[in-house]
Amino acid sequence: MVVLRAGLCPGLSEDMIQLLRANGIRTVVDFVSSDLEDVAQKCSLSYKALVAVRRVLLAQFSAFPANGADLYEELKSSTAILPTGSPSLDQLLDSGLYTGEVTELMGAPGSGKTQVCLGIAASVSLGLKQHVLFLDSTGGFTASRLYQMLRAQTEDEEEQAILGRLRLCFVLQLEALQRIQVVRVFSIYELLSALQELRDRLSQQVVSSMGPLKMVVLDSVSAVIYPLLGGRQSEGLALMMQLSRELKTLAREFSLAVVVTNQVTRDSSTGPLKPALGRSWSFVPSTRVLLEGKEAAWEKATTQRVASLAKSPRQPTGIQVELDIG
């Protein structure tokens, strides 16, 4: 629904637009779907000029069909699989996080979603030396915990380094920390601004601060959307769909892996747990993982969690693995 403006394409002059507008044709869709002979008569414009403009507009604004084989080639060359740093989680996700897709982690409070996100960010930054963008909307990002995880991961590789072990580990950890950018967004508009800014940077290919970005983590999406949903307003749903479109196009266009965390709610106080944000959001992520604690009561402290696959395009659902977030 783009408004016709002078200069939108060669041949579309200001007078032409005024004449068209006087007859009720204001957007590209109106122009392309109207009968050109009729328009030529009513607006006293030349038919040939109108046909030329229409051809250019169609070329500019329509989508082109792509060959399945071409798509497959493109997919093979541009998709990467990022290991999450936890072998059991990799097994659940069919060897890791796929770029170009949105993956969702959901769970009750205290089930370990932020911990798993931190672990994945640490592993991608340290192991693959790729940049990570962490969008924090709950205030749960703790850099000291991230540092702890990085230390735990480098100490495993320490056995292989020969000289200057401690120094090298420390340098590696610092570099890994620098590759993780954290942006705190506490409302939906801030989040959308941050995503727009990311898109501008990536399309201008500003290499200085971003580097080769491979992953975007959003913790959590329900915290920014919940204040808008419900009641009789449909504004919340509209914004939620805008956000989902932004995330998906970012993932697809720039080959990023997008990880999102979500809450769980119950229908009534005794119903089963179900993911928050409703049916509309359930179509957005391609993979959904549910995190649960092993013990039901909160008197026993444990770092064991159970992750089950709730939705996946590649694996059968219902697979469960055990994770340790300690």
Partner 1 sequence: MQREVGTLPLAPALRARLAAAGFQTAQELLDTGPCGLSKEIGISREEALEALQVVRQECHGDAARTAGGSGATRRCTALELLEEEQSQGFIITFCSALDNILGGGVQLTKITEICGAPGVGKTQLCMQLAVDVQIPECFGGVAGEAVFIDTEGSFMVDRVVDIAAACVQHCHLIAEAQQEEDHRKALETFSLENILSHIYYFRCRDYVELLAQVYLLPEFLSEHSKVRLVVIDGIAFPFRHDFEDLSLRTRLLNGLAQQLIIIANDYKSAVVLTNQMTTRIGQSQSTLVPALGESWGHAATVRLIFHWDNSQRLATLYKSPSQKESTIAYHITPHGFRDVQPPAAAHSTEGTEMNPRKRPRTEEEKQ
User: Residues with Cβ < 8 Å from 15, sequence gap 6 or more?
Assistant: none
Q: Does 27 bind partner 1 (CB under 8 A)?
A: yes
For partner 1, the binding residues in 166-225 under the rule CB under 8 A are: 174, 177-187, 189-190, 192-194, 196-197, 200-201, 204, 206, 208-209, 220, 222-224
The C-alpha angle 208, 209, 211, rounded to 5 degrees, equals 80
User: Cβ 182 to partner 1, closest distance in Å?
Assistant: 6
| CA-to-CA separations, 129 to 67, 143, 279, in angstroms, rounded | 34, 18, 36
User: Cβ 34 to partner 1, closest distance in Å?
Assistant: 15
Query: Which of 114/312 has CB closer to partner 1?
Result: 114
User: Cβ 17 to partner 1, closest distance in Å?
Assistant: 12
Beta strands in 77-124 (DSSP E): 81-82, 97-98, 102-107
**Cα gap 134→108, rounded to integer Å:** 21
User: Cβ 90 to partner 1, closest distance in Å?
Assistant: 23
Collapsing DSSP to helix, strand or coil, 31 comes out as helix
For partner 1, the binding residues in 226-285 under the rule CB under 8 A are: 226-231, 233-235, 238-239, 242, 246, 263-266, 269-270, 273, 276
Query: How many helices (H) and strands (E) would you count in the chain?
Result: 14, 12
Q: Does 58 bind partner 1 (CB under 8 A)?
A: no
Size of the residue set binding partner 1 (CB under 8 A): 81
Residues in the chain: 326
**Bridge partners (DSSP) listed for residue 309:** 289
User: Cβ 144 to partner 1, closest distance in Å?
Assistant: 5
Q: Does 3 bind partner 1 (CB under 8 A)?
A: yes
Query: Which of 160/204 has CB closer to partner 1?
Result: 204
The C-alpha angle 82, 106, 123, rounded to 5 degrees, equals 25
For partner 1, the binding residues in 85-104 under the rule CB under 8 A are: none
User: Cβ 272 to partner 1, closest distance in Å?
Assistant: 12
User: Residues with Cβ < 8 Å from 162, sequence gap 6 or more?
Assistant: none
Task: Look up tokens 């919940």; give the residue.
Answer: 226
For partner 1, the binding residues in 302-321 under the rule CB under 8 A are: 302-303
Near partner 1 by CB under 8 A: residue from 99, 103, 115, 123: 115
